[in-house]
Structure 1
């Protein structure tokens, strides 16, 4: 097999020998999330879509006056607040990653220093999105789905937390699952499209 054929089949070798400064430095970095920028956005889109479905389902939880004292579909609850925090974190990360994609595309060819700066910010975004945002989203999804498993599970959760995540809270603006789910699904779709746009980056 010729050297050219090997490069064509091995993206790492191709990046090292023929890629831009960004591509070369990216494949050399030791990263928690070694995916390309496009792949990060696509995975973020998958997380947002799954999150949106779970939060949307929470709107259909039926209040029973005890374990779920209010209608979570119309009344803001602690669960909706946690979901809002998760959505805001994931949305901010998606925005910054998209900006990095635009900056990289606009400023090519990048110097090694500029490429390294972009990669550092990209790594911080991935850590924030998939660790902090992902953990918060997982907690919110758990809160959203527990009521469907039965009142015993809801009682156990409220007892463990020493506060019911389904209790009403006062907010300036109505934070309800349908709104959060709609935003999450739209944002997830945008992330998937943007990820395809920069899939090779």
Structure 2
């Protein structure tokens, strides 16, 4: 059987017998997120796109009848701060994964120890991005979408939290959806392109 056929029929066997130290160790590891680095970046890009769209629609919420005391499109709120925290976390994970992708390009010359280190950092990034960052992003998205369910939903949320996530806060910079949404969409596009690039290698 040809080498190409073996690689296509059984990529795990191909990684074990012909792959670099990185590929060989990756298929042997038990991982919470068994996706390749390229797939992690692409999924992160999808999360960022969904996050950007949800944060963007928050700018169009009308304060009238929504129990929101300010215009969230122009005034920073606690929701904006939660969204900024989520975006910063996801951006940091995307940056580290991209750096690991660059290092992986030279995986043929990596020692087993260095390949193992890259895989450990990659796993930590996935946990941070999809668990911590994903949870924070989901909370921010929930805050952004609740006003569209009506005043009763907003009142319930405020009563449950004992603090309004839509109250105005003072910030040094205008942290509003208009600034967060383009950043999230741009970063999502970069993650998708980077993931596609490394997936084709």
Q: TM-score of the superposition, structure 1-length normalised?
A: 0.95
CA distance in 2, matches of 1:153, 1:121: 40
1:68-105 CA distance string (max 9 Å, x none): 00000000000000000000000000000001111221
CA distance in 2, matches of 1:26, 1:37: 10
Runs of 4+ that moved beyond 3 A: 2-7
Could you give the per-residue CA deviations for residues 31-70 of structure 1, whole angstroms, max 9, x where no partner exists?
0001111000000000000000000000000112771000
Partner SS for 2:199: coil
Query: Contact 2:76–2:176 (CA<8 Å) still a contact in 1?
Result: yes
The residue number in structure 2 matching 1:91 is: 91
Matched ranges for 1:74-89 at <5 A: 74-89=74-89
> Displacement of 1:127 after TM fit?
0.3
Q: Please, which runs of 5 or more residues in structure 1 have no aligned partner?
A: none
Distance 1:110 1:138 in 2: 37
- Any unmatched runs of 5+ in structure 2? none
How many residue pairs match? The answer is 200
Q: Relative to structure 2, which stretch is displaced further, 104-113 or 179-188?
A: 104-113
Asked whether 1:179 is paired with 2:179, we answer: yes
Secondary structure of 2:196's aligned partner: helix
Please report the TM-score for the alignment, with normalisation by the length of structure 2: 0.95
